[in-house]
Structures are given as structure tokens and as C-alpha cells.
Amino acid sequence: MLKCQSTKLILSRYLNLSAVARSKISKRRKDTKLKQSPNLRDPNVEAKQGKPTPTKLAQDFFDTHYKQTYGSEWHSIRLALFSKPKFAVLVNNLSVKDEIIHDLKTLGCLSLKELYNEEVQRLGINVLDYNQTPQQIKLPSYNDRPSMQDLSDFEEPTIEHISMSKEDAKDRLIDPENIVMGGKESIQMYEFVPSKESLGLEDFVEEQDYYEKYSQSQNSNLKFEKIPEGVYEFPDKLEAFIHPYGVFDHFMAPTRPSDGAFNYYCLDAASLIPVLMLDLKKGDELLDMCAGPGGKSLAAMQTFKPQRIVCNDIDGSRITRVKHVMQSYLCNRFNEEIGMNIIQYSKRDGQSLPNVFDQEFDKVLCDVPCYTDRHTLFQDDNNIFKSHMAKERLRMPELQASLLLSSIKCLKPGGSVVYSTCTLSPMQNDGVVSLALKFLWEETSIDVSICDLSETIKPYKPFLNFSSNSKVTRFGQQITPSIGENSGPMYIAKIRRLS
């Protein structure tokens, strides 16, 4: 617990909020407003009084802040977000696999593996050559690291570059048993009280100031190595299908025989990318840091690569959901037939996992809670833009960075973590990675490198739209929704632990 509080304290220091957090005026203004109308604490009262709904607040917020980041791209992205999304199906290897694949192809569906391999061949890529381990240039030792004020003089090493039901909408994956297809002035800014453990202050900070200050963290002069990754081999056992470009037909609900497993799992096609970016190898030990509702853990198991997977989530109901997914699709056959406890479950705060799993895993998937853009634009229930959830929303980047740091600490030297979100928010994507790197640089002896995925993603471009906006791809890659291939949003960044 003390270690966790220390991490939060240091992370909060990097938010650089002190300049805007000292005034008491905002606090007095809010106290006065609540005294005059105490029912404002009830979110339902706002709707009755004609105040903007959470979905409208999210829309206005995105129109203001995402437009600043994505510029002219925002109009097409926005149109796609408000259009019918496109889903994929993950075929269950432990069901009647050949029959399922035949039926899907008869419907005109396309195999992601075949699309991927065709693009690899078209580009003339030799996957074996690309998979050679890149030369790793080690960072300066912890004692030799410059202070933050000296970073402007630090020279980056030269690297040679190589040629939706409501609940599951929130969880970014589609419930396989209940599929649901489905530039102005800023909005009124909320205020929040930073925790004493975080900032040592009780002052209020307006959301606009918070966003702008946090966004500045992306302009840091901090230098970390960005080592090019190759093109991975698509897992031979993994079978997933989508409809052709521009087709948004429904998939039938998954079915199962009385004594068997479900035939396929429905999800956003972009949700498979974080799992594929792990580049799982035979015998890997994998941690899914925030596993609920279980789709990504299931996809990892469908590769038949992991020797062990630990599915963790802080919420008991979500862990129950993960267990249900695993049992419904795998029927405990991995544990029973192989005779090993391959699938394990953990109900812990991800920030505390290094106390249990220090340097234990080859791969970690860190798919963190975020704005869940599609959910917040359509569902008022469980919407992070509800006024009474302002504190949770504003503290989200700090939580995300803390979970990413915990993931890195759980890695063996040489292991890698994939950090992912389903939001377009630059402060929750590249901004969080930047925040975590600053902490590692100044406060730990852990050395890491950033994996440059610009070559790795090329074979996925025929069926997913990747942003070329340098404002959102400093450390990772951003999948943006588009009208023809309306998957995502999904952000992915990969970090390798060196020591």
C-alpha cells in the first residue's frame, strides 16, 4: 500500500497542476452552487432540469478536444463513430471448427489470417527475416541517467530503420449471447478535488486546465530508444472472420451443442490487435492485467501458445464474467486434458500485482479502463461523463499510468507489455505512456525500450484504418473508425523491458 501511494504521489507530480490548483475561488464557487441547489448531486435531477445528458457532454467534449488533435480527420472519424460499427467473429478451435469456417465463408466472410498473409506476400515481406531479434541498445544505467532538467541535452541514439448490450459496450467487447449491433466553445467544465495522497492539496482544478496541462506532457524532451519491430507471423491456430469492406451485416448469435463449447465469439475486430501485438510464443506466461469481460484472454488461448495465463481484474463481477467466457468456450479442456493449471484467475487491484508477480511473466496485456468512446456517445448508463463521475474521469490517466507501470514490473527482463485503450484521447494514450516513461527514468533502475510498430501494422491495413497523425503516434499506433472499415477506436503501444 505504501509503495502504491508513493507511485501515485510521483505520478501526480508529473501532471504539473500546481500552477492552476492553488486558487480557492473554484472551490468556493462550487460550494455555493451546491448549497443553493443540493440536488445537483443527484445525476437524475440534471436530466429533469433539462441539463445536457452524459452522451451530449461526451459529444461536446470530443468535438472540442479531439478536433484539436485530429484536425480535418475528425469529421470522418466522427461520422464513423455515429455509424453502425463493424464486428468480427473469433472461431473456437474447441468447437466444430471446420464446419464453422465453411459456414462463414459461404456467407461471404473473409479470414483475417488470409487477408494478413496475402498482404505480407503482396508487400514482399519475409516474416522470418523480420522476426530476427533486433539489436538492443541498452539505456544508460540508472546512476548515469540525467536529471529531467538535463534531458534537453540528451541525444537520442541513432537507430537504423528497417524497410452492444449496455454492459459489454462499456467493456469494449460484444456479448456473444446478446449481440447488439448497433469547433465550438468548450462545455461547462467540471471541477474535482485531488486526493491528499496524490497532490497534498484540497484545491479544485477545472477540467479544461487539467486537459491542457496533461497534454503538455507529450511535448517532453525525454528520450527513450524506439527500436523497430518486425512483421509477426499470424498465429496459425487463430481463426477470425469479418464481412467485406462496406458490409455491416449481423452475425448470428453464437450457438453450442448441449455438451460442447460455443462456436464463435463476437467482438470488435480492432480488439484482436492488442493480442496479436503480443507476438505470443510457445510456452509464454501471460498476464491479462484487466481481463474483464474476457474476450482478449480467450483470443490469447485460441493461439494455443501460452503455457500459463493469469486473468486478473479488480471487479469480482468481471472476473466471474471472464470465468464464464473461458468455461463456455474452452470447457476447462486446457486444464483437464493437459493436466496443468494453465488458466488462473486473480481478483486484485492491478496496481498491487508487482507485490505478487514481480518479474514473473513473458508477456503482459495492459488493456486499461478508458473513455470507451463508442459507449459514452450512445449510452447514459455507466457513462464516465456523468457529472458525479468527474473525479474518476479526471484521475483516469493517473490510474492508467500506474497500471502500465505495474505491468512493466511484472515482466521478466526481455519480456514485453502491450498497452491498449479503446479511446481516441491523446492524453490517455501517448500521454500515459509518456507519464510512465518519466517515472521509470527518474524513479527506478528499470530499463525499457519502445517498440516501433510502424512496420508491424502494415499487413493489417487492408481491413483496419491506422492514423498517420504524428500527434497521436509518438509511442504507439492509433486505429481510427472509418466508414468502410468501422472498427475501433483502439490504441496500442508496446514496451520491452531490458533489465
Quick one: which of 396, 395, 419, 408 has its CA closest to 443? 408
Distance between CA 215 and CA 314 in Å, rounded? 28
Strands annotated E in 314-410: 343-346, 361-367
Catalytic residue positions, numbered: 422
> Any bridge partners for residue 328, and if so which?
none
Report residue 229: phi and psi, to 5°.
Answer: -95, 155
Inter-axis angle of helices 2-14 and 396-409, nearest 10: 120
Instruction: Judge whether 404 and 440 are in contact, CB under 8 Å.
Output: no
Nearest residue to 486 (alpha-carbon basis) of 77, 85, 75: 85
Q: What's the N-to-C CA distance of the chain in angstroms?
A: 24
- Grid coordinates standing for 431? 500521454
Residue 76's Cβ-count burial label (10 Å; 0-12, 13-18, 19+) is middle
Distance CA(109)–CA(240), nearest Å, equals 10
Please, what sign has the CA dihedral across residues 482, 485, 488, 491?
negative
At 116 the three-state DSSP class reads: helix
* Whether the bond into 293 is cis, omega within 30 of 0: yes
Bridging pattern class, strands 361-367 and 411-421: parallel
CA neighbor of 393 nearest in space, from 372, 418, 374: 372
Distance CA 464, CA 319 (A): 30
* Locus of grid cell 467493456: 171
Cell of 289: 492485467
Q: From its phi and psi, is residue 50 left (phi > 0), alpha (psi between -120 and 50) or beta? A: left
- Percentages helix, strand, coil for the chain (3-state, rounded to 5) are 40, 15, 45
**Element spanning 262, H or E:** none
How is residue 26 annotated by DSSP? Answer: H
